[in-house]
Amino acid sequence: MSDNKIEEIQELDQSRVLQSWSRQKNKRNNIIIKSQGVKFTDQKGREYYDMSSQLVYANLGHKHPKMLEAFNQLSGLEIVATGFASSSKSELAEKIIDVAPSNMKKVYFTMAGAEANEHAIKIARMVTGKHKILSRYRSYHGSTFGAGNLSGESRRFQVEPGLPGFIKFKTPYLYREKLTFSDELDYTNYLLSELDKQIQFEGPEDIAAIFIEPIPGSNGVLLPPEGYLTGLSTLCKRYDILLICDEVMSGFGRTGKWFAVDHFNVQPDIITFAKGVTAGYLPLGGVIVSDRIAEYFDENVLMTGSTYSGHAMACHMGCAALNVYHQEEIISHVQEMESVINSRLEKLKEYKYVGDVRNIGLFSAIELVKDKQTKEPIIDYGQDYGKDLQGHMSTLLACLLDKGFYTYSHESCIFISPPLTITKEEIDSAFDLLELGLTQFILDHPSLT
């Protein structure tokens, strides 16, 4: 691409495109001019490891040959309204149900994750006839109005004053828990008994659903303590409250299972998904509902819909992606890579400012602190979009980028969620770069104020 063309694209991107979650002034975005597998190259010819799979969706890496082949087949497809059946829509729904927990029966397709959560809220209210929705602090469910109201972090504030009946409870976060517990089970029992009290206070007869990310992603890969999810599921059953799991980020192999809930032997009533279902090759999301919910709509009208629900081309790319997941045994590959990434993460704990590391499958967070003893965070709780626009965290990301390691951060965590196809050698090379970048940052910043 010529220098003039690059200049023109960047200029128009800056002058004509509103950029998400950003102050617009002086925001000059790089351009990816080439990509393959786990790497991409920018307009300056610099190569990077894509250690966040873009926004945690490029699960099969860049330019996967099978996905490119599927692109070539798109011209043979019909453009059809939702009232028509299409082979890609039917086939994809079947493929998803095949890998979902065994109580799951049907899929409602959307364009993306937030939209999936919007429909899930409506479905829960229709099926139960109740209106309150409980979700958690330190969660992100999307930026639209309903999904924004579910979210328990600072990206919610722009939809406030919010919807009545959207109530928050605490997310387990052992690293930052101030109370002391004898073990994880003790912590779980405490959290669930507090939640039980909250449910009784709000009135189980009014609560339609409890909505969680089984493993909150962009709020820090917060792994639940032992027994927590099973206990939560039991509470939901006791009070006849639907359990809805947002697996937009954690679904489709990211954690080393098809869905994160599979680690905990939990069968939710509804699962929402997006990102990994097409590995990002076209936008697609959806809501998977249990047999009980599917049956409810046999006789009751499903009062929701959208023009592009089950778009044949997006579903075609979903089918292609699921074929690759199966053919390349992606789930067992992620399980194998887990120990590789764990040992590299463990080593990072020796570095100044690395407070904690957490990982499951290929879903990791590195939590930075100003001081390891006090655990003072680099960015205060909820201040990601504050005045200094991330300060030290942006500097750290720039140091990593400078060494060829691309990822993103939220509050005081940087995230590592590479394409699920990454090899052991690629993980090691990328972590070598990460350590170089971190060392540079520490040298440049002997203390953080």
140 binds ligand PLP (CB under 6 A): yes
Instruction: CB nearer to ligand PLP: give 43 or 309.
Output: 309
| Cis, bond preceding 216 (omega within 30 deg of 0) | no
Residues linked to residue 246 through DSSP beta bridges, in sequence order:
272
Return the residues of window 18-77 that contact ligand PLP according to CB under 6 A.
Answer: none
Query: Closest separation between CB of residue 308 and ligand PLP, Å?
Result: 14
Residue type, position 214, single letter: P
Please give the C-alpha separations between residue 91 and each of 180, 312, 317, in angstroms, as whole numbers.
50, 10, 11
* CA torsion angle 127 132 135 140 (round to 10): 80
Reading the block at residue 241, the tokens are: 């409250």
**Piece in contact with ligand PLP (CB under 6 A), picked from 108-116, 263-271, 390-398, 433-441:** 108-116
Judged by CB under 6 A, the number of residues near ligand PLP is 14
Say how far apart CA 151 and CA 303 lie, in whole Å.
24
Residue type, position 209, single letter: A
Say how far apart CA 349 and CA 372 lie, in whole Å.
10
Query: Closest separation between CB of residue 117 and ligand PLP, Å?
Result: 6
Using CB positions, name the residue nearest to ligand PLP: 113
For ligand PLP, the binding residue among 236, 274, 368, 422 (CB under 6 A) is 274
Instruction: CB nearer to ligand PLP: give 64 or 138.
Output: 138
Query: Closest separation between CB of residue 260 and ligand PLP, Å?
Result: 10
- Listing from the earlier edge strand, what are the strands of the sheet with 32-36? 32-36, 39-42, 47-50, 405-406
User: Whose structure tokens read 């919007």?
Assistant: 118
**Piece in contact with ligand PLP (CB under 6 A), picked from 23-31, 106-114, 355-363, 417-425:** 106-114
In eight-state DSSP terms, residue 141 is -
For ligand PLP, the binding residue among 125, 136, 141, 257 (CB under 6 A) is 141
Task: State the sign of the Cα–Cα–Cα–Cα dihedral 225, 118, 20, 278.
Answer: positive
Return the residues of window 406-425 that contact ligand PLP according to CB under 6 A.
Answer: none
Contact in structure between 116 and 272 (CB atoms under 8 Å): yes
Query: Closest separation between CB of residue 33 and ligand PLP, Å?
Result: 25
Return the residues of window 241-260 that contact ligand PLP according to CB under 6 A.
Answer: 246, 248-249
Instruction: CB nearer to ligand PLP: give 152 or 404.
Output: 152
Residue type, position 389, single letter: L
Instruction: CB nearer to ligand PLP: give 264 or 431.
Output: 264
Chain residues binding ligand PLP by CB under 6 A are: 112-114, 117, 140-142, 213, 217-218, 246, 248-249, 274
